[in-house]
Amino acid sequence: MRGPYADLLGPGSHGSTYGGSPLACAVALKVLEVIQAEKLADNARRVGEFLKQRLGELTEKYPQVYRNVRGLGLMLGIELAANIPHLPGEGQKPQAVRMANLFHAEGLLTIPAGAQILRLLPPLNLRESEAGEGVAILERVAARLVG
């Protein structure tokens, strides 16, 4: 038994968010062209390695705050130490949330990825100098916490 709306949409007359419309495909191809032309994958590897190295140095300098850094390219996670000293904010909230709030107040966008992990996911065109600014914020906050 056919419903009253069975013939409302004929074949091909409806779409899907991920259905590959001509416009979406054209945009995707253009994005891939820009990634290739501007060598953004190479940049992500190079700047990501710089960032990972600098963050690793912070884990050695501030083990009371940063425990470990992991990730690939510009997709990085910072594992926080347990019981960070003098961490402000509501005690019932996870440390990662409280730390993210401190970084946001300093102008650095991070997001919690669990109770003890902060995720960094900057744009592929991040410059080394900009990554250095972010590391400086991470260091400034850690220095304040360990006092």
Task: List Cβ<8 Å contacts ≥24 apart for 140-145.
Answer: 140/106, 141/65, 141/99, 141/102, 141/103, 141/106, 142/58, 142/61, 142/62, 142/65, 142/66, 143/62, 144/86, 145/62, 145/64, 145/65, 145/84, 145/85, 145/86, 145/87
Residue-range domain boundaries for the chain: 40-146
Percent of the chain scored above 90 by pLDDT? Answer: 81
pTM for this entry: 0.82
Residue 123: pLDDT band (50, 70, 90) is very high
Mean pLDDT of 86-110: 95
Which CATH number does 40-146 carry? 3.90.1150.10
121, two tokens: 């996911």
Mean pLDDT of 19-30: 85
